[in-house]
Amino acid sequence: MTLEKLRKNIDKLDDEILTLLNKRMEYVHQVGELKGKDGGAIYRPEREQAIMERLTKLSQSHNGLLQRKHIEAIFYEIIGISKSLERDEKVAYLGPIGTFTHQAAQSRFGSIKDYNPYPSILSVFKAVSSDSATYGVVPIENSTDGVVGETLDLLGEYNLNIVAEIYMPIHHSFATKVANIGQVRKIYSKDKAFGQCREFLENHGLMHLEHISVESTAKAAQLAAKDSKAAAICLHIAAKMNKLPILYDNIEDRHDNKTRFIVVSKSLNLKGKNDKTSILARLSNTQGSLVRFLQEFDEAGINLTKIESRPAQSSKAFSYWFYIDFDGHIEDENIKQLLARHEDIKFLGSYTKADDEI
């Protein structure tokens, strides 16, 4: 088959896909009207997870080339557009534009959502709490640096719920308008990013060049886009937003570095097939209180996945809250019974468990 014939076949398929997408959006509009009448939630992570699982199995059954990651990239974008048609909702995230948190938000809400960057995690919580945004996206944990203490503290302080979690690999790109890497004369990036990509810089003979540290990798992409002899170590999203061609992708020294992000909202999730629940628990400062509390989970057949201690904001010195993740939904009978036996517990949310974990 000739190249021209192949392209005509692709064009024909694109026309069919567009027709089907428009038909899908008509149904989405009808769903939005029904939800508008009863006040139903637009963002349904458990429903989205079920869609991804169903389509992945369908692709596998037909020996399709599309794997789970490809299906998610395509359909989260379609779902994001669908949600925008159902209802206009703002998403707050820890800025600036073009950061990992921005990329994490887009991976779940799509690229055309109304995104608002905020300068701090606290300001994201305030935006959602005051209804300036419907959802907030913030980091909670990194595989190298551990938990984000501020996020845990704010979960205890604000009456918001975790409605989703996102695990994002920390990847850096080498982006430049220069056609040949040997023509690059300066590199912009953040201090930490230069350190995380040292092996790449050494292997490509770039250590002797001028390394210009800026406040963010997003800023680095902006500067490199205006300089014909410069490059940036930045995120894929920052390069894309600044129309900066990517010469090399995934240039970081460690490929197992991940960050876990959470989506917070005033809404609650319905029960799904594979849920996780998060709580904050404050226990009496007596011998064996933590051991006895954790033993209750074992006796109830509940699998604990994480426990972290945080200083409690109280007048008592060395008083702690415990942040705990475990499998299951708040509506599960064994979980409901266990938590009912304790007064000093704050429910933080039940949400669909992500496939990838730290």
- As annotated, the active-site residues are 259, 261
Q: Which of these, 175, 171, 186, lies nearest to 240 by C-alpha position?
A: 175
Q: Name residues whose C-beta falls within 8 Å of residue 132's C-beta, 6 or more positions apart in sequence.
A: 90, 92, 116, 126
**3-state SS class at 38:** helix
Give the DSSP letter string of 216-282: -HHHHHHHHHT-TTEEEEE-HHHHHHTT--EEES---S-S--EEEEEEEES--PPP-SSEEEEEEEE
Q: Are 127 and 136 in contact (CB under 8 A)?
A: yes
Q: Are 246 and 178 in contact (CB under 8 A)?
A: no
* Amino acid at the residue 42: I
186 φ, ψ to 5°?
Answer: -150, 155
- Count Cα atoms within 13 angstroms, Cβ side, for 176: 21
Q: Are 190 and 216 in contact (CB under 8 A)?
A: yes
Verify cis geometry, omega within 30 degrees of 0, for the bond prior to 96.
yes
* Buried b or exposed e, range 115-144, using 16+ CB within 10 angstroms: bbbbeebbbbbbbbbeeebbbbbbbbbbbe
